[in-house]
């Protein structure tokens, strides 16, 4: 078995558990992306999030959020990790930063989620 970070492993387990409970494919897709090797993990800039996320949607990044780009609207972003600059810019725009664990444990509708990356 490969070594995994406890945070990553817990996020994978919670995603699989939520998939079995709700039968929503987005939870399975998140778990499959998180199972990939570290070198294949996604890194997404704020500019890409701004282009793809509409109001009321939650951006799910199964990787790291980077601070390049700008946000001009409040966006909720759930990710495995954030750079300091990305977290600061999201909060300044009136958005929220969630960990993947908080997303899995929260009461969020799969129809409001969009995977970016």
Map out the domains of the chain as residue ranges.
6-115
* CA–CA distance, 15 with 24 (Å, rounded to integer): 10
Query: How many CA atoms lie within 13 Å of 80's alpha carbon, on the beta-carbon side?
Result: 27
CATH topology of domain 6-115: Ribosomal Protein L15; Chain: K; domain 2 (3.100.10)
Query: What is the tens place of the pLDDT at every residue in 18-41?
Result: 777 888 888 888 888 888 877 788
Query: How many CA atoms lie within 13 Å of 51's alpha carbon, on the beta-carbon side?
Result: 8
Are 107 and 21 in contact by the 8 Å Cβ rule? The answer is no
Query: What is the tens place of the pLDDT at every residue in 55-84?
Result: 889 999 988 999 999 898 999 999 989 999
* CA–CA distance, 99 with 79 (Å, rounded to integer): 5
* CA–CA distance, 33 with 1 (Å, rounded to integer): 17
| Full-model pTM | 0.85
Are 33 and 117 in contact by the 8 Å Cβ rule? The answer is yes
């Amino acid at each position: 078995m490969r070594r995994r970070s406890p945070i990553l492993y817990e996020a994978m387990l919670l995603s699989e558990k939520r998939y079995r409970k709700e039968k929503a494919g987005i939870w399975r897709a998140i778990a499959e992306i998180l199972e990939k090797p570290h070198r294949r993990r996604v890194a997404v800039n704020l500019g890409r999030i701004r282009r793809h996320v509409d109001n009321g949607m939650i951006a799910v990044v199964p990787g790291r959020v980077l601070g390049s780009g700008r946000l001009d609207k409040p966006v909720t972003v759930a990710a495995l990790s954030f750079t300091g600059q990305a977290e600061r810019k999201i909060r300044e725009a009136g958005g929220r930063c969630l960990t993947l664990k908080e997303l899995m444990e929260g009461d969020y509708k799969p129809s409001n989620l969009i995977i970016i990356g």
